[in-house]
Amino acid sequence: MNAPLRVLIIDDSERDALLLVRALRKEGVEVYSERVDTAEAMERAMTDGNWDVAISDCHMPDFTVEGALAIWQRAGKDQPFIVVSGAIGEEEAVALLKAGAHDFVRKDNLARLVPAIERELRDSADRHGRKEAEDALHQSELRRCQLQTELNCAAEMQKMLLPQDAPSLTGFEIAAYCTPARQVGGDFYDWYETIPGIVTLTFGDVMGKGMAAAMLMTTVRATLRAVTLRVQPSIAVQLAEQSLHHDLEVSESFVTLFLARLNVNASLMTYVDCGHGYAFLRRHDGRVEDLLPRGLPLGVPSHEKYEEGGCTFQRGDTLVLYSDGLIDALPELALDNASIAARLEGATNAREMVDRITTMVPAGTPLADDLTVLVFHKNLDG
């Protein structure tokens, strides 16, 4: 106790209050004190003063220690409240402890007052520390719950941005699956008819995971929707790269992308692969054709023009697109396009094919990266 001990003395006797202060000073404690003997005085003292400890006489003719305790607690004080008594019965002592008193000291043993105060101050500090820790934990839990709510909303919104229903295309089927490694992610796919019979497919992977990748993903998706309405794939990705250049540069990110335009009536697909690579065409007889050429991801500086590739679908042929989350989830299998294509043997529709690929990853496997699969299939009777 280096600083003066601030003591509020609740006692009707000025003499007894002085004895208490002398007893403390005799034990080497510097004391600043104030005596009160009415409820009104105590209310004022607690409002105006910041006390380290309250010491109350047990028996006062016009004011009870229970009343003093009630005012102390009502004021929100958690500092020690010590009762000093010439004589006190066991039942009365228990009652006062239940009411909130911290300790008792007999008037004929005031030398015990300093150790009692020191002990109670330590306990008070411990209580205060625990309360601060509990408050900090409570605030942390509140922030966690708020963040969880926001993430849930973001995940639901991201899910809603993915196409919910495939367009009705004569002779063709589309199916897809996407699950982020965290609640939100950077993988996405999209499809839409730009004009009747012409379908645009996009499949992208923003570098990274979580909220940052998800926010950038929505920007990329919206930009691609805007630039693919009337132009061929190579021009569309060039326009998208120009539009997204600043955002990708400041975020130090890039996007791998596969963009295709399908002429349903001619069964013809033109496409551009911007650094994605996880795309192949499985012919009905099981042969696998890689889709070339390939360029650099969006956001990687280059003066090269994006080149288009093309292919024609025959009955039973299937376009398969997947993200590197599939590879990361099954590194021990050394996956390649041929091994994935072999899983599709005997599958009769696009949804079954997607399910066969995604179930290669056992249920409950922690994902290191977002996992997305898209299948575009020409029916045998199409």
Rounded to the nearest integer, the mean pLDDT of the chain is 87
Please determine, for residue 186, whether its predicted confidence score (pLDDT) is greater than 70.
Answer: yes
Predicted confidence (pLDDT) per residue in 1-52, tens digit: 568 888 999 998 898 888 888 888 888 888 888 999 888 888 888 877 788 8
**CA angle (76 as vertex; 73, 79 as ends), nearest 5:** 80
| pTM of structure | 0.64
Surface-to-core class of residue 334, CB atoms within 10 Å of its CB (0-12 exposed, 13-18 middle, 19+ buried):
exposed
> In CATH terms, is domain 162-378 a member of 3.60.40.10?
yes
Predicted confidence (pLDDT) per residue in 310-328, tens digit: 999 999 999 999 999 998 8
Domain segments of the chain as ranges? 5-132, 162-378
Instruction: Report strand pairing: 81-85 vs 255-263.
Output: unpaired
Q: One fold for both 5-132 and 162-378?
A: no
Q: Which CATH class is domain 5-132?
A: alpha beta
Number of DSSP helices (H) and strands (E) in the chain, helices first: 10, 16
Three state DSSP letters for 328-353 = HHCHHHCCCHHHHHHCCCCCCCHHHH
237 vs 250: CA distance, rounded Å: 19
